[in-house]
A and B are shown apart, each in its own frame.
Chain A
Amino acid sequence: MAMIEIKDVCKWYGDKQVLVDCTTRVTKGEVVVVCGPSGSGKSTLIKTVNGLEPFQKGEILVDGISVGDKKANLAKLRSRVGMVFQNFELFPHMSVTQNLVMAQTKVLGRSEDSALDKGLKLLDRVGLIEHKDKYPAQLSGGQQQRVAIARALSMEPIAMLFDEPTSALDPEMINEVLDVMVELAKEGMTMMVVTHEMGFAKKVADRVIFMEKGGSILEDCTKDDFFGSPRKQRTQDFLSKILHN
């Protein structure tokens, strides 16, 4: 069953088309990695899934609900889809605990106690319980991103979107974040991940989508096909560049 269904999505910034007839799907429990050169619209595509970026043509269904529909309750839909950003985007004026609790109480209407309970459990899971009273600026990038993942999970999402979650990190912090993501994938979370971390893709991805400059999907295949025998020359070039680094 398709959790996220993207059908012929097109998007323009003014005259410039940034997404060209993008079609793909993420089924329940599947991990899909989206990669491609910069300017290929990967981040834009993933942001259309929870309606952060509007699109002009096509349709996106998340758990059967149309994102582009003007009548759709976007806030409700977003509360059910977790998102992790490149720059973490923790709220800097709130402590780690407040970051974890706020949306649970304000959006889901949970009591302060149960939200705190839930938040701290997840914080413990990402290994940061001793930092619960700190402010984001007092944490390293990797720690901030783990808190951000815990914050997204606290809403008990049906799927998680990751928009280049390790791109802003120093190399030595990348693995601590990837480890959390791998664990999440193994637990069966439905995930759509924009990343250049091919090691992550090889380890847990079910499918890999390769996007090409100009905003179109060039390749959409299983992990084994993608790494074993990419059908397009362009994909091979990209892979040889990125895997040699």
Chain B
Amino acid sequence: MGDFDFSIIIKSLPVLWGGLLLSLQLFAIALVGGIFFGTLLALARLSSFKMLSYPAAGFVNLIRSVPFIMAIFWFYFLTPELVRWLTGRQGEAVGPFTSAIVAFIMVESAYFSEIIRAGIQSVPRGQPWAAYALGLNYWQAMGYVVLPQAFRNMIPIMLTQAIILFQDTSLVYVVGLKDFLGAASKAGQLTGRIVELYIFVAIVFLVICFGASRLVKLIQVRMDPTRQRAIKQDPALNGPGITPGGA
């Protein structure tokens, strides 16, 4: 350990902090975008209109069968082309950050759509029926009745996917973005202290991701159906007049 100089981390903190912020920004945008478009994809895939379900299934299967890093490269080169094709202007204005965001939203929406699809299917069929029977239209039935239950069922697995997403943000380093890992690499190359910086990056990832996974565990325990049943059958919580097993 004598050769290590960890003071380099203190000196690099501003750069690393900037990198971490970029990572968190990318994470937040990809998470929100992924869940939003993932929900639409899941609804399209479950639709009885083949015009919707087939393309959605095709997109999800395509994205899920290519390596994430390849998708990032694709969109790095494709997004400027697309912008030029759509607007007629040169796509130079599209930087690596924008193309990375496009790639992340695309890929994450495919991943999240599979989770959300399973969540929607976990809601009993009678629930949308009851919603329709009251006169709700498709979007109301989904928005007020089906999706809230689907998301509730899916919270643990969605959080797990979010942790994976946070780790995956380090992949943008391949298109030259200074995310947390990218910033550490840059600082390491300049100072020749790359090992110390990588150790630091690893520790920060460990702390964030381990902390988050503990949180997931906690939520899982709280949402455990056996525990909910215990609450339900505890007369003290229910007041009189409850017959167990009536649900």
Report the separation of the CA atoms of residues A83 and B131 in the bound assembly, to the nearest whole angstrom: 10
Which one of B11-19, B68-76, B137-145 is at the interface? B137-145
Cβ B246 vs Cβ A93 within 8 A: no
Q: Does A141 contact B (CB under 8 A)?
A: yes
B126: A residues at CB distance < 8 A: 85, 87, 89
Report the separation of the CA atoms of residues A162 and B237 in the bound assembly, to the nearest whole angstrom: 32
When C-beta atoms are compared, the residue in chain B nearest to A90 turns out to be B130
Cβ B247 vs Cβ A137 within 8 A: yes
A76: B residues at CB distance < 8 A: 135
Cβ A52 vs Cβ B242 within 8 A: no
Cβ A141 vs Cβ B135 within 8 A: no
Q: Which of A93, A141, A172 contacts B149 (CB 8 A)?
A: A93
A143: B residues at CB distance < 8 A: 246
CB distance from A16 to the nearest CB of B (A): 19
Q: Which of A80, A81, A89, A172 contacts B130 (CB 8 A)?
A: A89
- Map CB proximity to B onto A24-42 as digits: 1 under 8 Å, 0 otherwise: 0000000000000000000
CB distance from A108 to the nearest CB of B (A): 8
Q: Does B236 contact A (CB under 8 A)?
A: no
A87: B residues at CB distance < 8 A: 124, 126
Interface size for chain B: under 10, 10 to 19, 20 to 34, or 35 or more residues? 20 to 34
Report the separation of the CA atoms of residues A151 and B133 in the bound assembly, to the nearest whole angstrom: 11
Report the separation of the CA atoms of residues A78 and B137 in the bound assembly, to the nearest whole angstrom: 10
Q: Which of A78, A90, A106 contacts B132 (CB 8 A)?
A: A78
Cβ A151 vs Cβ B134 within 8 A: yes
Q: Which of B132, B137, B232, B241 contacts A52 (CB 8 A)?
A: B132
B134: A residues at CB distance < 8 A: 78-79, 102-103, 107, 151-152, 155
Cβ B132 vs Cβ A140 within 8 A: no
Cβ B140 vs Cβ A89 within 8 A: no
Report the separation of the CA atoms of residues A102 and B144 in the bound assembly, to the nearest whole angstrom: 9
Which residues of chain A from 108 to 122 have any CB-CB distance to chain B below 8 Å in the complex? 108
Report the separation of the CA atoms of residues A50 and B129 in the bound assembly, to the nearest whole angstrom: 10
Cβ A155 vs Cβ B124 within 8 A: no
Cβ B136 vs Cβ A144 within 8 A: no
Report the separation of the CA atoms of residues A93 and B149 in the bound assembly, to the nearest whole angstrom: 7
Q: Does B148 contact A (CB under 8 A)?
A: yes
Q: Does A236 contact B (CB under 8 A)?
A: no
Q: Which of B136, B148, B243 contacts A140 (CB 8 A)?
A: B243
Cβ B145 vs Cβ A91 within 8 A: yes
Listed residue (B130, B131, B228) with the most chain A CB atoms within 10 angstroms of its CB: B130
Cβ A106 vs Cβ B144 within 8 A: yes
Which residues of chain B from 131 to 170 have any CB-CB distance to chain A below 8 Å in the complex? 131-137, 140, 144-145, 148-149, 152
Cβ B232 vs Cβ A155 within 8 A: no
Q: Which of A52, A92, A102, A173 contacts B133 (CB 8 A)?
A: A52
Cβ A107 vs Cβ B136 within 8 A: yes
Q: Does B238 contact A (CB under 8 A)?
A: yes
CB distance from A152 to the nearest CB of B (A): 8
Q: Does B127 contact A (CB under 8 A)?
A: yes
Report the separation of the CA atoms of residues A139 and B247 in the bound assembly, to the nearest whole angstrom: 7
CB distance from B78 to the nearest CB of A (A): 40
Cβ A140 vs Cβ B242 within 8 A: yes
Cβ A173 vs Cβ B243 within 8 A: yes
- Map CB proximity to A onto B96-122 as digits: 1 under 8 Å, 0 otherwise: 000000000000000000000000000
Cβ B129 vs Cβ A139 within 8 A: no
| Interface positions of B (Cβ within 8 A of A) | 124, 126-127, 129-137, 140, 144-145, 148-149, 152, 228, 232, 237-238, 241-243, 245-247
For the complex of A and B, list the 8 residue pairs with the smallest distance between their C-beta atoms, beginning with the closest: A79-B135, A140-B246, A89-B130, A103-B134, A141-B246, A83-B133, A107-B135, A89-B126
| Interface positions of A (Cβ within 8 A of B) | 47, 50, 52, 74-76, 78-83, 85, 87, 89-93, 102-103, 106-108, 136-144, 148, 151-152, 155, 169-170, 172-173
With A87-B124, A91-B149, A138-B238 given, name 18 new contacts (CB 8 A). Answer: A47-B129, A75-B135, A85-B126, A89-B130, A90-B130, A102-B144, A103-B134, A106-B140, A136-B247, A137-B228, A137-B247, A138-B237, A140-B243, A140-B246, A140-B247, A141-B246, A142-B246, A172-B243
